[in-house]
Structure 1
Amino acid sequence: MSGQVRIPTSRGVFDAITAGPEDGRPVLLLHGFPQTGLVWERQIAALADRGFRVAAPDQRGYSPGARPEDPADYAMDALVADVVAITGELGWPVFDLVGHDWGGAVAWWTADAHPDRLRTLTVVSTPHPGALASTLRTDPDQRARSRYMTEWRDPATERRMLADGARELRALYGDAVPADRVEEYVRHLSPPGALTGALNWYRGGRPGHAIGTTGVPTLYVWGTEDTAFGPAAAEETGSRVEGPYRFERLPGVSHWVPEEVPGVLNRLLLEHLRAHPGD
């Protein structure tokens, strides 16, 4: 199966983009807020052209067939379980995992819970959760950057973001995301319940246990103009990785790395995958 597909699992039906040869090395790509699997369009093409088998699902809350109403159903354990279910349905016992924004957080936690399932880990923008938690305690700059995470738990957020032609939602993307792609995201998140499902990621509660250090070969990519994640957490991330680690700072690049500098990210991702071929 290739192109736009639906992946039925015990946890819901996930819409996804798939590409590449069926027998290619599998790569799962996880998007963040407020986007969909389309954020990876350029990465999907680059990977598929080089023989990788790629899947980029619309995650819980973004897929209409996997959109529970209770915010408790968006806890991190549930999001990680979705990754396990999706890759199980795809028949991928071992795979490479890539995540951006919230998808990056899920990727870190998946590497912590299921290191035996991952050949490599690539995280874009999002620091290691332990590093983020540490800097939220010690770094005023990061506390200020992360204030929105608490503010968006307010049930009035959906109405405010979609008011005036979704002006506030559109503003989140800045100038880094192409205008036609912004329109696609806004259309996807405008139907009743869709933006609530996406925002429930902020309302799902914190994990009930601490995350450990990561032993999976890891590439971490961070733009110096990221408004959500500052330098303190980005730089501390390396101390939370025990396995092979590569940290790439992208000067002048914003939070929206996959769409702002797709060529740069493609090169780094392919280098990382080739450096760790696994078995």
Structure 2
Amino acid sequence: MNAELRHTERLVNGVRLHCAEAGPETGQPVLLLHGFPEFWHAWDRQIGPLARAGFRVVVPDLRGYNLSEKPPGVENYHIDTLVGDVAALVHDLGHERAHIVGHDWGGVIAWAVAISRPGVVDRLVILNAPHPGAFGRELRRPEQKKRSWYVGFFQLPWLPERLLVPFGRWALAGARPGSYSAEDLKLYQAAWTQPGAATAMINYYRALMRFGNVRGRQVQAPTLLLWGEKDMALVPELAEGLDKWVPNLKTVKFPHATHWVMRDETLRVNQEVLAFLEG
């Protein structure tokens, strides 16, 4: 990483979020939003290059994850609430707008912020996270339904929590060999076993099923989509046919990368993200 990290706690949208921060506080803010089943450490290979480029890098543990607050109740993980967290975090940094970068669930939230709070987003970067319009389209097809099996499993009571640690290790093992070290996995297991974390993390999926998905589809922000085509959970067609919803879009595909594209193809991902944000 080679960047000095500042660990902070910010009260935003009624919840305390732990954040890892780096780079000059006068720099343009870049929020890096992790996915399931990760935490801020998901971006450890991106924080340093962005900070050295002069950006103010802010990487929260999303609500319910790792060291952030874990409010009880599925209703506290509705997509509108998660969007509110991101918007409030940008404003807490003293800015009206920020670059938003999201992977997996962080990408779902980033799409939703760009759709429902467009004034908050300067430039948008998405890594292997489906745009809601494309996901609705592909979910009507058998292959994406099959790959989304775990979403239904996560609706069960208590059992998913019991299996979160082995499930999480299995999911990360889907990355290319060497993308996650044994030390990385120790850090993840420590995050997963924080009190209340298992239920909070799974509540993202429960809220998605009970309260609905993102309303609206149009994204006006300049958008970079980075897509690992060997994703176990998401079909490659999700990176196609987005122009009608995202008119200002650049798509870069990684034929040999998995869902964990920022780990599998670190150097090229960093090059693409920096070129896009500095452009």
Scaled by the length of structure 1, the TM-score of the pair is: 0.91
- 1:216 matched to 2:215? The reply is no
Write the deviation string for residues 232-269 of structure 1: whole angstroms up to 9, x where unpaired.
Answer: 22213343202x21001101100011222211111110
Q: C-alpha distance in 1, partners of 2:262/2:98?
A: 20
Write the deviation string for residues 68-119 of structure 1: whole angstroms up to 9, x where unpaired.
Answer: 1101110100000000111111112111000000000000000011112211
Q: C-alpha distance in 1, partners of 2:126/2:26?
A: 24
Other-structure match for 2:260: 256
Q: How does 1:215-254 map to 2 (within 5 A)?
A: 215-242=220-247, 244-254=248-258
Other-structure match for 1:148: 150
Do the aligned residues in 1 keep the contact of 2:191 with 2:197 (CA within 8 Å)?
Answer: yes
Write the deviation string for residues 169-206 of structure 1: whole angstroms up to 9, x where unpaired.
Answer: 31110144222112101111113311111111001134
Other-structure match for 2:190: 187
Gaps of 5+ in 2: none
- 1:168 matched to 2:167? The reply is yes
Other-structure match for 2:73: 70
SS of equivalent to 1:226? coil
Q: C-alpha distance in 2, partners of 1:170/1:2?
A: 26
Q: C-alpha distance in 2, partners of 1:168/1:103?
A: 19
SS of equivalent to 2:32? strand
- Specify the code of the residue in structure 2 equivalent to 1:222: W
- Specify the code of the residue in structure 2 equivalent to 1:173: L
SS of equivalent to 2:126? strand
SS of equivalent to 1:127? coil
- Matched positions, count: 269
1:64: Cα distance to partner?
A: 4.4
Cα root mean square deviation, aligned:
1.6
Identify which range, 246-255 or 185-194, moves more after superposition: 185-194
Identify which range, 113-122 or 58-67, moves more after superposition: 58-67
Scaled by the length of structure 2, the TM-score of the pair is: 0.91
SS of equivalent to 2:76? helix
Q: How does 1:96-107 map to 2 (within 5 A)?
A: 96-107=99-110
Other-structure match for 1:135: 138
1:129: Cα distance to partner?
A: 1.1
- 1:90 matched to 2:90? The reply is no
Change (3 A) 1:63 1:167: closer
Gaps of 5+ in 1: none
